[in-house]
Structure 1
Protein backbone atom coordinates (compact mmCIF):
# COMPACT_ATOMS: atom_id res chain seq x y z
CA UNK A 1 0.00 0.00 0.00
CA UNK A 2 1.55 3.33 -0.99
CA UNK A 3 1.45 6.46 1.13
CA UNK A 4 -1.42 8.08 -0.78
CA UNK A 5 -3.60 4.97 -0.42
CA UNK A 6 -2.66 4.66 3.26
CA UNK A 7 -3.75 8.25 3.99
CA UNK A 8 -7.02 7.71 2.12
CA UNK A 9 -7.63 4.46 4.02
CA UNK A 10 -7.08 6.12 7.42
CA UNK A 11 -9.40 9.00 6.51
CA UNK A 12 -12.11 6.59 5.40
CA UNK A 13 -11.95 4.62 8.66
CA UNK A 14 -12.10 7.79 10.75
CA UNK A 15 -15.08 9.11 8.78
CA UNK A 16 -16.84 5.79 9.35
CA UNK A 17 -16.74 6.23 13.12
CA UNK A 18 -13.61 4.18 13.87
CA UNK A 19 -10.84 5.91 15.76
CA UNK A 20 -7.15 5.73 14.90
CA UNK A 21 -4.90 7.91 16.97
CA UNK A 22 -2.14 10.03 15.48
CA UNK A 23 0.60 7.70 16.67
CA UNK A 24 -0.94 4.70 14.95
CA UNK A 25 -1.53 6.70 11.80
CA UNK A 26 2.07 7.88 11.82
CA UNK A 27 3.31 4.32 12.32
CA UNK A 28 1.12 3.15 9.43
CA UNK A 29 2.57 5.80 7.15
CA UNK A 30 6.14 5.08 8.22
CA UNK A 31 5.72 1.34 7.69
CA UNK A 32 4.06 1.90 4.33
CA UNK A 33 6.83 4.24 3.24
CA UNK A 34 9.49 1.73 4.29
CA UNK A 35 7.78 -1.11 2.44
CA UNK A 36 7.37 1.07 -0.65
CA UNK A 37 11.03 2.08 -0.61
CA UNK A 38 12.17 -1.52 -0.28
CA UNK A 39 9.83 -2.73 -3.01
CA UNK A 40 10.94 0.01 -5.39
CA UNK A 41 14.60 -0.75 -4.70
CA UNK A 42 14.04 -4.46 -5.32
CA UNK A 43 12.14 -3.76 -8.54
CA UNK A 44 14.88 -1.43 -9.80
CA UNK A 45 17.55 -4.00 -8.92
CA UNK A 46 15.73 -6.74 -10.87
CA UNK A 47 15.20 -4.40 -13.83
CA UNK A 48 18.90 -3.46 -13.83
CA UNK A 49 19.90 -7.12 -13.69
CA UNK A 50 17.58 -8.12 -16.52
CA UNK A 51 18.64 -5.08 -18.54
CA UNK A 52 22.28 -6.14 -18.15
CA UNK A 53 21.36 -9.66 -19.27
CA UNK A 54 19.69 -8.35 -22.44
CA UNK A 55 22.53 -5.92 -23.14
CA UNK A 56 24.97 -8.80 -22.85
CA UNK A 57 23.02 -10.87 -25.40
CA UNK A 58 22.77 -7.96 -27.82
CA UNK A 59 26.42 -6.96 -27.39
CA UNK A 60 27.35 -10.38 -28.76
CA UNK A 61 25.15 -9.59 -31.75
CA UNK A 62 27.37 -6.88 -33.25
CA UNK A 63 26.09 -8.01 -36.65
CA UNK A 64 22.76 -9.57 -37.52
CA UNK A 65 21.25 -10.54 -40.83
CA UNK A 66 18.23 -12.74 -41.37
CA UNK A 67 15.22 -13.33 -43.55
CA UNK A 68 11.92 -12.63 -41.86
CA UNK A 69 8.22 -13.28 -42.17
CA UNK A 70 5.96 -10.62 -40.66
CA UNK A 71 2.36 -10.99 -39.57
CA UNK A 72 0.28 -8.11 -38.22
CA UNK A 73 -3.02 -8.75 -36.44
CA UNK A 74 -5.54 -6.23 -35.07
CA UNK A 75 -7.21 -6.21 -31.65
CA UNK A 76 -9.74 -8.79 -32.89
CA UNK A 77 -6.91 -11.10 -34.07
CA UNK A 78 -7.68 -10.46 -37.74
CA UNK A 79 -4.63 -10.57 -40.00
CA UNK A 80 -4.24 -7.10 -41.52
CA UNK A 81 -0.80 -7.38 -43.10
CA UNK A 82 1.80 -9.96 -44.07
CA UNK A 83 5.28 -9.40 -45.46
CA UNK A 84 8.59 -11.08 -46.17
CA UNK A 85 12.04 -9.62 -46.45
CA UNK A 86 15.50 -9.23 -44.96
CA UNK A 87 16.70 -7.39 -41.85
CA UNK A 88 20.34 -6.37 -41.45
CA UNK A 89 21.72 -4.63 -38.34
CA UNK A 90 25.08 -3.60 -36.95
CA UNK A 91 25.83 -2.01 -33.62
CA UNK A 92 25.75 0.81 -32.96
CA UNK A 93 22.72 2.39 -34.59
CA UNK A 94 22.59 0.99 -38.13
CA UNK A 95 19.71 -0.96 -39.63
CA UNK A 96 18.46 -1.98 -43.07
CA UNK A 97 14.90 -3.27 -43.52
CA UNK A 98 14.03 -4.54 -46.97
CA UNK A 99 10.76 -6.22 -47.98
CA UNK A 100 10.33 -8.37 -51.07
CA UNK A 101 6.67 -9.33 -50.59
CA UNK A 102 3.97 -8.11 -51.08
CA UNK A 103 5.80 -4.95 -52.21
CA UNK A 104 9.43 -3.91 -52.50
CA UNK A 105 10.23 -1.35 -49.82
CA UNK A 106 13.43 -0.17 -48.19
CA UNK A 107 14.12 1.53 -44.88
CA UNK A 108 17.68 2.41 -43.88
CA UNK A 109 18.89 3.89 -40.59
CA UNK A 110 22.47 5.06 -41.13
CA UNK A 111 23.15 6.35 -37.62
CA UNK A 112 22.10 9.93 -38.36
CA UNK A 113 18.97 9.68 -40.48
CA UNK A 114 16.21 7.23 -41.41
CA UNK A 115 15.58 6.85 -45.14
CA UNK A 116 12.21 5.39 -46.13
CA UNK A 117 12.16 4.51 -49.83
CA UNK A 118 8.80 3.87 -51.48
CA UNK A 119 9.49 2.66 -55.01
CA UNK A 120 5.79 2.45 -55.88
CA UNK A 121 5.24 6.22 -55.58
CA UNK A 122 8.92 7.04 -56.28
CA UNK A 123 9.40 8.98 -53.07
CA UNK A 124 11.98 9.01 -50.28
CA UNK A 125 11.14 10.36 -46.82
CA UNK A 126 14.09 11.34 -44.64
CA UNK A 127 13.79 11.72 -40.85
CA UNK A 128 16.23 12.49 -38.08
CA UNK A 129 17.09 9.11 -36.56
CA UNK A 130 17.13 10.49 -33.01
CA UNK A 131 13.63 11.91 -33.41
CA UNK A 132 12.26 8.96 -35.36
CA UNK A 133 12.98 6.27 -32.77
CA UNK A 134 13.78 8.09 -29.54
CA UNK A 135 10.82 6.56 -27.65
CA UNK A 136 10.66 3.34 -29.64
CA UNK A 137 12.11 0.29 -27.86
CA UNK A 138 13.36 -1.00 -31.22
CA UNK A 139 16.24 1.46 -30.69
CA UNK A 140 17.73 -0.94 -28.12
CA UNK A 141 18.54 -3.48 -30.82
CA UNK A 142 21.43 -1.34 -32.00
CA UNK A 143 21.98 1.21 -29.20
CA UNK A 144 24.90 1.01 -26.77
CA UNK A 145 24.00 4.26 -24.98
CA UNK A 146 23.16 3.87 -21.29
CA UNK A 147 20.98 7.01 -21.27
CA UNK A 148 18.84 5.44 -24.00
CA UNK A 149 18.54 2.13 -22.13
CA UNK A 150 17.46 3.94 -18.95
CA UNK A 151 14.26 5.09 -20.71
CA UNK A 152 12.85 1.55 -20.75
CA UNK A 153 11.73 -1.07 -18.25
CA UNK A 154 12.77 -4.62 -19.08
CA UNK A 155 11.41 -7.89 -17.73
CA UNK A 156 12.53 -11.40 -18.56
CA UNK A 157 10.14 -14.13 -19.62
CA UNK A 158 10.49 -17.89 -19.92
CA UNK A 159 8.52 -19.38 -22.80
CA UNK A 160 6.34 -16.27 -22.81
CA UNK A 161 5.63 -16.30 -19.06
CA UNK A 162 6.83 -13.19 -17.18
CA UNK A 163 8.94 -13.80 -14.09
CA UNK A 164 9.73 -11.62 -11.10
CA UNK A 165 13.09 -13.21 -10.48
CA UNK A 166 16.47 -11.74 -11.24
CA UNK A 167 18.35 -12.79 -14.36
CA UNK A 168 20.79 -14.90 -12.30
CA UNK A 169 17.91 -17.00 -10.94
CA UNK A 170 16.38 -17.79 -14.31
CA UNK A 171 16.92 -21.24 -15.77
CA UNK A 172 19.25 -20.79 -18.74
CA UNK A 173 18.36 -24.25 -20.06
CA UNK A 174 15.01 -22.91 -21.21
CA UNK A 175 14.83 -23.29 -24.99
CA UNK A 176 13.51 -19.76 -25.64
CA UNK A 177 14.49 -16.76 -23.54
CA UNK A 178 12.37 -13.65 -24.03
CA UNK A 179 12.61 -10.06 -22.84
CA UNK A 180 9.69 -7.64 -22.73
CA UNK A 181 10.64 -3.97 -23.14
CA UNK A 182 8.28 -1.17 -22.11
CA UNK A 183 8.91 2.59 -22.49
CA UNK A 184 8.85 4.32 -19.10
CA UNK A 185 7.22 7.34 -20.71
CA UNK A 186 3.72 6.65 -21.97
CA UNK A 187 2.23 7.96 -25.19
CA UNK A 188 4.60 6.44 -27.73
CA UNK A 189 3.57 4.43 -30.77
CA UNK A 190 5.01 1.16 -29.43
CA UNK A 191 3.55 -0.08 -26.13
CA UNK A 192 5.73 -3.16 -25.69
CA UNK A 193 8.48 -4.92 -27.61
CA UNK A 194 9.31 -8.57 -26.93
CA UNK A 195 12.60 -10.08 -28.11
CA UNK A 196 13.00 -13.87 -28.07
CA UNK A 197 16.32 -15.70 -28.33
CA UNK A 198 16.87 -19.35 -29.25
CA UNK A 199 19.20 -21.84 -27.56
CA UNK A 200 22.10 -20.47 -29.61
CA UNK A 201 21.48 -16.96 -28.21
CA UNK A 202 20.31 -15.78 -31.64
CA UNK A 203 17.42 -13.36 -32.01
CA UNK A 204 14.68 -15.71 -33.24
CA UNK A 205 11.58 -13.52 -33.15
CA UNK A 206 10.36 -10.02 -32.42
CA UNK A 207 6.89 -9.03 -31.25
CA UNK A 208 5.52 -5.47 -31.08
CA UNK A 209 2.25 -4.24 -29.54
CA UNK A 210 1.37 -0.76 -30.80
CA UNK A 211 -0.92 1.98 -29.51
CA UNK A 212 -3.76 0.78 -31.76
CA UNK A 213 -3.53 -2.66 -30.12
CA UNK A 214 -2.14 -4.20 -33.29
CA UNK A 215 0.48 -6.91 -32.81
CA UNK A 216 3.31 -7.28 -35.33
CA UNK A 217 5.30 -10.52 -35.16
CA UNK A 218 8.55 -11.13 -37.03
CA UNK A 219 10.01 -14.63 -37.18
CA UNK A 220 13.62 -14.87 -38.36
CA UNK A 221 15.35 -17.63 -40.32
CA UNK A 222 18.70 -18.09 -42.10
CA UNK A 223 20.27 -16.10 -39.26
CA UNK A 224 23.84 -14.83 -39.66
CA UNK A 225 25.93 -13.02 -37.03
CA UNK A 226 29.27 -12.94 -38.86
CA UNK A 227 29.41 -11.77 -42.46
CA UNK A 228 31.13 -9.20 -44.67
CA UNK A 229 29.25 -5.91 -44.90
CA UNK A 230 29.25 -4.19 -48.31
CA UNK A 231 30.03 -0.48 -48.14
CA UNK A 232 26.61 0.49 -49.48
CA UNK A 233 24.55 -1.59 -46.99
CA UNK A 234 23.51 1.43 -44.92
CA UNK A 235 23.34 4.02 -47.68
CA UNK A 236 20.59 4.87 -50.16
CA UNK A 237 21.04 5.47 -53.87
CA UNK A 238 18.16 7.75 -54.89
CA UNK A 239 17.15 7.83 -58.57
CA UNK A 240 16.86 11.33 -60.06
CA UNK A 241 13.15 10.76 -60.77
CA UNK A 242 12.32 10.23 -57.08
CA UNK A 243 10.85 13.00 -54.88
CA UNK A 244 12.81 13.55 -51.67
CA UNK A 245 10.83 14.71 -48.61
CA UNK A 246 13.53 15.71 -46.16
CA UNK A 247 11.95 16.25 -42.70
CA UNK A 248 15.14 16.45 -40.66
Structure 2
Protein backbone atom coordinates (compact mmCIF):
# COMPACT_ATOMS: atom_id res chain seq x y z
CA UNK A 1 0.00 0.00 0.00
CA UNK A 2 1.11 3.58 -0.64
CA UNK A 3 2.78 4.59 2.62
CA UNK A 4 0.90 7.88 2.79
CA UNK A 5 -2.38 6.01 2.80
CA UNK A 6 -1.39 3.95 5.81
CA UNK A 7 -0.05 6.82 7.88
CA UNK A 8 -3.07 9.04 7.24
CA UNK A 9 -5.48 6.26 8.27
CA UNK A 10 -6.75 5.21 5.01
CA UNK A 11 -6.16 8.79 4.52
CA UNK A 12 -6.23 8.72 0.83
CA UNK A 13 -9.89 8.18 0.32
CA UNK A 14 -10.96 10.79 -2.21
CA UNK A 15 -13.15 12.01 -5.06
CA UNK A 16 -12.65 13.35 -8.53
CA UNK A 17 -10.96 16.69 -8.00
CA UNK A 18 -13.53 19.40 -8.00
CA UNK A 19 -11.84 22.75 -8.43
CA UNK A 20 -14.58 24.96 -7.18
CA UNK A 21 -13.93 28.22 -5.38
CA UNK A 22 -16.23 30.68 -3.67
CA UNK A 23 -16.06 34.08 -5.35
CA UNK A 24 -16.88 37.23 -3.39
CA UNK A 25 -19.57 39.52 -4.80
CA UNK A 26 -18.44 42.78 -6.45
CA UNK A 27 -20.36 45.91 -5.42
CA UNK A 28 -22.06 47.79 -8.24
CA UNK A 29 -20.96 51.33 -9.17
CA UNK A 30 -23.17 54.13 -7.89
CA UNK A 31 -23.42 57.79 -8.76
CA UNK A 32 -22.17 58.85 -5.38
CA UNK A 33 -18.74 57.80 -4.13
CA UNK A 34 -19.94 58.33 -0.55
CA UNK A 35 -22.78 55.84 -1.10
CA UNK A 36 -20.32 53.34 -2.59
CA UNK A 37 -18.03 53.60 0.44
CA UNK A 38 -20.95 53.14 2.83
CA UNK A 39 -22.19 50.09 0.90
CA UNK A 40 -18.70 48.63 0.91
CA UNK A 41 -18.31 49.15 4.63
CA UNK A 42 -21.71 47.59 5.27
CA UNK A 43 -20.80 44.55 3.13
CA UNK A 44 -17.54 44.07 5.00
CA UNK A 45 -19.34 44.21 8.33
CA UNK A 46 -21.90 41.60 7.25
CA UNK A 47 -19.54 39.16 5.50
CA UNK A 48 -18.22 37.41 8.65
CA UNK A 49 -21.78 36.76 9.80
CA UNK A 50 -22.86 35.48 6.39
CA UNK A 51 -19.82 33.23 6.13
CA UNK A 52 -20.46 31.80 9.58
CA UNK A 53 -24.08 31.07 8.67
CA UNK A 54 -23.05 29.34 5.44
CA UNK A 55 -20.43 27.23 7.23
CA UNK A 56 -22.88 26.35 9.99
CA UNK A 57 -25.46 25.30 7.40
CA UNK A 58 -22.88 23.23 5.49
CA UNK A 59 -21.76 21.49 8.67
CA UNK A 60 -25.34 20.64 9.67
CA UNK A 61 -26.07 19.34 6.17
CA UNK A 62 -22.96 17.15 6.12
CA UNK A 63 -23.64 15.84 9.62
CA UNK A 64 -27.15 14.88 8.55
CA UNK A 65 -25.87 12.98 5.50
CA UNK A 66 -23.17 11.14 7.44
CA UNK A 67 -25.52 10.57 10.37
CA UNK A 68 -27.70 8.41 8.12
CA UNK A 69 -24.64 6.44 7.05
CA UNK A 70 -24.47 4.16 10.06
CA UNK A 71 -22.48 1.71 7.97
CA UNK A 72 -20.91 1.75 4.55
CA UNK A 73 -19.33 -0.83 2.27
CA UNK A 74 -18.14 -0.34 -1.29
CA UNK A 75 -15.52 -1.25 -3.80
CA UNK A 76 -13.12 1.53 -4.74
CA UNK A 77 -10.68 2.61 -7.41
CA UNK A 78 -7.94 4.92 -6.19
CA UNK A 79 -5.55 7.17 -8.08
CA UNK A 80 -2.83 9.34 -6.53
CA UNK A 81 -1.17 12.07 -8.58
CA UNK A 82 1.70 14.38 -7.64
CA UNK A 83 1.93 18.16 -8.07
CA UNK A 84 2.94 17.66 -11.72
CA UNK A 85 -0.12 15.47 -12.34
CA UNK A 86 1.98 12.33 -12.66
CA UNK A 87 0.24 9.17 -11.44
CA UNK A 88 2.31 7.84 -8.52
CA UNK A 89 -0.04 5.18 -7.18
CA UNK A 90 -3.15 3.24 -8.19
CA UNK A 91 -5.14 0.73 -6.18
CA UNK A 92 -8.38 -1.22 -6.08
CA UNK A 93 -10.11 -2.79 -3.14
CA UNK A 94 -12.94 -2.63 -0.62
CA UNK A 95 -13.75 -0.15 2.14
CA UNK A 96 -16.04 -0.97 5.08
CA UNK A 97 -16.98 1.55 7.78
CA UNK A 98 -19.35 1.74 10.74
CA UNK A 99 -19.99 4.67 13.03
CA UNK A 100 -18.47 5.52 15.34
CA UNK A 101 -14.77 5.16 14.56
CA UNK A 102 -14.41 1.77 12.87
CA UNK A 103 -12.99 1.14 9.42
CA UNK A 104 -11.58 -1.69 7.31
CA UNK A 105 -9.55 -1.01 4.15
CA UNK A 106 -8.49 -3.91 1.93
CA UNK A 107 -6.63 -3.66 -1.36
CA UNK A 108 -6.60 -6.38 -3.99
CA UNK A 109 -4.48 -4.49 -6.53
CA UNK A 110 -1.58 -3.96 -6.96
CA UNK A 111 -0.96 -5.87 -3.71
CA UNK A 112 -3.10 -7.52 -1.07
CA UNK A 113 -3.00 -5.34 2.04
CA UNK A 114 -5.22 -4.78 5.05
CA UNK A 115 -5.70 -1.80 7.33
CA UNK A 116 -8.15 -1.92 10.23
CA UNK A 117 -9.17 0.86 12.63
CA UNK A 118 -10.96 -0.77 15.57
CA UNK A 119 -11.82 2.40 17.49
CA UNK A 120 -8.64 2.42 19.58
CA UNK A 121 -5.80 1.32 17.29
CA UNK A 122 -4.94 1.18 13.61
CA UNK A 123 -3.55 -2.16 12.37
CA UNK A 124 -1.63 -2.05 9.10
CA UNK A 125 -0.98 -5.57 7.83
CA UNK A 126 1.66 -5.98 5.12
CA UNK A 127 1.49 -9.55 3.89
CA UNK A 128 4.46 -9.11 1.52
CA UNK A 129 6.98 -8.49 4.32
CA UNK A 130 4.87 -10.34 6.96
CA UNK A 131 4.72 -7.36 9.30
CA UNK A 132 1.98 -5.59 11.26
CA UNK A 133 2.35 -1.96 12.31
CA UNK A 134 0.08 -0.81 15.14
CA UNK A 135 -0.66 2.89 15.75
CA UNK A 136 -2.80 4.75 18.24
CA UNK A 137 -5.98 5.65 16.34
CA UNK A 138 -6.20 9.06 18.04
CA UNK A 139 -2.70 9.92 16.87
CA UNK A 140 -3.19 8.43 13.42
CA UNK A 141 -6.20 10.63 12.64
CA UNK A 142 -5.12 13.76 14.49
CA UNK A 143 -6.12 16.82 12.42
CA UNK A 144 -7.10 14.51 9.55
CA UNK A 145 -10.55 15.40 8.18
CA UNK A 146 -11.10 11.76 7.21
CA UNK A 147 -12.00 11.22 10.86
CA UNK A 148 -15.37 12.91 10.28
CA UNK A 149 -16.54 9.90 8.25
CA UNK A 150 -16.92 7.90 11.45
CA UNK A 151 -16.70 10.47 14.28
CA UNK A 152 -19.88 11.61 16.02
CA UNK A 153 -18.60 13.85 18.85
CA UNK A 154 -18.78 17.65 18.66
CA UNK A 155 -15.20 18.13 19.90
CA UNK A 156 -13.85 16.40 16.78
CA UNK A 157 -16.16 18.25 14.39
CA UNK A 158 -15.17 21.59 15.93
CA UNK A 159 -11.60 21.11 14.65
CA UNK A 160 -12.64 21.58 11.01
CA UNK A 161 -14.19 24.20 8.74
CA UNK A 162 -16.80 22.89 6.31
CA UNK A 163 -18.09 24.49 3.11
CA UNK A 164 -20.66 23.15 0.67
CA UNK A 165 -19.46 23.43 -2.91
CA UNK A 166 -21.64 24.23 -5.87
CA UNK A 167 -23.86 21.27 -6.74
CA UNK A 168 -23.34 19.54 -10.09
CA UNK A 169 -26.01 17.84 -12.16
CA UNK A 170 -25.58 14.27 -13.36
CA UNK A 171 -27.46 13.09 -16.44
CA UNK A 172 -29.09 9.69 -16.09
CA UNK A 173 -30.81 7.64 -18.73
CA UNK A 174 -33.33 9.34 -20.97
CA UNK A 175 -33.05 12.92 -19.81
CA UNK A 176 -33.50 12.40 -16.07
CA UNK A 177 -31.00 14.04 -13.79
CA UNK A 178 -29.50 13.58 -10.38
CA UNK A 179 -27.51 16.02 -8.25
CA UNK A 180 -24.05 15.56 -6.79
CA UNK A 181 -23.45 17.38 -3.50
CA UNK A 182 -19.89 18.08 -2.41
CA UNK A 183 -18.43 19.34 0.86
CA UNK A 184 -14.90 20.62 1.40
CA UNK A 185 -13.40 20.02 4.84
CA UNK A 186 -10.36 21.98 6.03
CA UNK A 187 -8.50 21.56 9.36
CA UNK A 188 -8.63 24.77 11.40
CA UNK A 189 -5.11 24.10 12.68
CA UNK A 190 -2.48 24.50 9.99
CA UNK A 191 0.58 22.31 9.57
CA UNK A 192 -1.13 18.94 9.29
CA UNK A 193 -0.59 16.39 6.53
CA UNK A 194 -4.01 16.91 4.97
CA UNK A 195 -4.82 20.31 3.46
CA UNK A 196 -8.37 19.63 2.27
CA UNK A 197 -10.77 16.72 1.97
CA UNK A 198 -13.76 16.81 -0.37
CA UNK A 199 -16.67 14.41 0.09
CA UNK A 200 -19.12 13.90 -2.77
CA UNK A 201 -22.59 12.36 -2.42
CA UNK A 202 -24.65 11.03 -5.31
CA UNK A 203 -28.34 11.54 -6.11
CA UNK A 204 -29.23 8.87 -3.53
CA UNK A 205 -27.26 10.74 -0.84
CA UNK A 206 -24.69 7.93 -0.73
CA UNK A 207 -21.01 8.77 -0.40
CA UNK A 208 -19.75 8.23 -3.95
CA UNK A 209 -16.25 9.73 -4.02
CA UNK A 210 -13.49 11.34 -1.95
CA UNK A 211 -10.72 13.71 -2.88
CA UNK A 212 -7.77 14.60 -0.65
CA UNK A 213 -5.02 17.17 -1.14
CA UNK A 214 -2.02 16.58 1.13
CA UNK A 215 0.85 18.78 2.28
CA UNK A 216 3.10 17.41 -0.48
CA UNK A 217 0.51 18.61 -3.04
CA UNK A 218 -0.44 15.04 -3.89
CA UNK A 219 -4.08 14.49 -4.77
CA UNK A 220 -5.63 11.15 -3.93
CA UNK A 221 -8.89 10.30 -5.66
CA UNK A 222 -11.20 7.51 -4.61
CA UNK A 223 -14.34 6.60 -6.54
CA UNK A 224 -16.74 4.06 -5.04
CA UNK A 225 -18.81 1.34 -6.72
CA UNK A 226 -21.32 -1.29 -5.54
CA UNK A 227 -22.25 0.92 -2.56
CA UNK A 228 -24.12 -0.83 0.27
CA UNK A 229 -25.35 0.90 3.43
CA UNK A 230 -27.42 -1.95 4.84
CA UNK A 231 -25.64 -5.21 5.45
CA UNK A 232 -24.91 -7.58 8.35
CA UNK A 233 -21.59 -6.71 10.01
CA UNK A 234 -19.58 -9.83 10.82
CA UNK A 235 -18.14 -9.94 14.34
CA UNK A 236 -14.55 -10.11 13.07
CA UNK A 237 -14.84 -7.26 10.53
CA UNK A 238 -12.81 -4.84 12.62
CA UNK A 239 -10.39 -7.27 14.23
CA UNK A 240 -7.03 -8.59 13.02
CA UNK A 241 -5.69 -12.12 13.39
CA UNK A 242 -1.89 -12.01 13.27
CA UNK A 243 0.02 -15.15 12.21
CA UNK A 244 2.80 -16.24 14.58
CA UNK A 245 5.41 -15.71 11.85
CA UNK A 246 4.60 -12.00 11.47
CA UNK A 247 6.68 -9.21 13.05
CA UNK A 248 4.60 -6.79 15.12
CA UNK A 249 5.77 -3.16 15.29
CA UNK A 250 3.62 -1.65 18.05
CA UNK A 251 3.98 2.14 18.01
CA UNK A 252 1.11 3.00 20.33
Same fold at TM > 0.5? yes
What's the counterpart of residue 179 of structure 2?
Answer: 175
Cα distance in 1 for partners of 2:244, 2:183 equals 43
- In structure 1, the residue matched to 2:214 is 210
Render the CA deviation track for 1:148-175: whole Å, top value 9, x for unaligned.
Answer: 0011011111247xxxxxxxxxxxx861
Given the superposition, is the C-alpha separation of residues 37 and 93 from structure 1 closer, same or farther in structure 2, using an over 3 Å criterion? farther
2:57 is aligned with 1:53: no
Shift of 1:229: 0.5
Q: Please, which of 222, 245, 248 is the counterpart of residue 249 of structure 2? A: 245
Selected match of 2:162 from 130, 133, 154? 154
Query: Following superposition, which runs of at least 4 residues in structure 1 exceed 2 angstroms of deviation?
Result: 31-42
Are 1:186 and 2:190 an aligned pair? Answer: yes
Structure-2 separation of matches of 1:157 and 1:38: 21
Identify which of structures 1 and 2 has the higher relative contact order when contacts are C-alpha pairs closer than 8 Å and 6+ apart: 2
The structure that is helix-richer by fraction is 1
What's the offset of the Cα at 1:33?
Answer: 9.7
Unaligned runs of at least 5 residues, structure 2? 1-38, 169-176
Superposition deviation, residue 36 in structure 1? 5.8
- Consecutive unaligned residues of structure 1, counting only runs of 5 or more, are 1-30, 161-172
1:143 is the counterpart of 2:151: yes
Q: Distance in 2 between matches of 1:177 and 1:137?
A: 18
Q: Distance in 2 between matches of 1:33 and 1:154?
A: 26
**Cα distance per residue 1:6-45 (max 9 Å; x no partner):** xxxxxxxxxxxxxxxxxxxxxxxxx999876643232222
CA separation in 2, counterparts of 1:36 and 1:96? Answer: 46
Aligned to 2:99: 91
Larger radius of gyration: 1
Closer, same or farther: CA 33–112 of 1 in aligned 2, 3 Å: farther
Shift of 1:48: 1.2
CA-atom RMSD in angstroms = 1.9
> CA–CA distance in 2 between the matches of 1:68 and 1:157?
23
Q: What is the TM-score when the length of structure 2 is the normalising length?
A: 0.78
Instruction: Name the CA shift for 1:37/1:145 in 2 (closer, same or farther; >3 Å).
Output: farther
Count of aligned pairs: 207
TM-score (norm 1): 0.79
Q: Aligned partners of 2:61, 2:87: CA distance in 1, in Å?
A: 33
Q: 1:122 aligns with which of 110, 127, 130?
A: 130
Q: Distance in 2 between matches of 1:211 and 1:95?
A: 24
**2:234 equivalent among 205, 212, 230:** 230
Secondary structure of the residue aligned to 1:192 is strand
What's the CA shift string for 1:181-231, capped at 9, x where partnerless? 000111111110000000000001000001110100000000000000100
Cα distance, 1:175–1:35 mapped onto 2, change above 3 Å: closer
For the 8 Å contact 1:158–1:176, the answer to whether it is kept is no
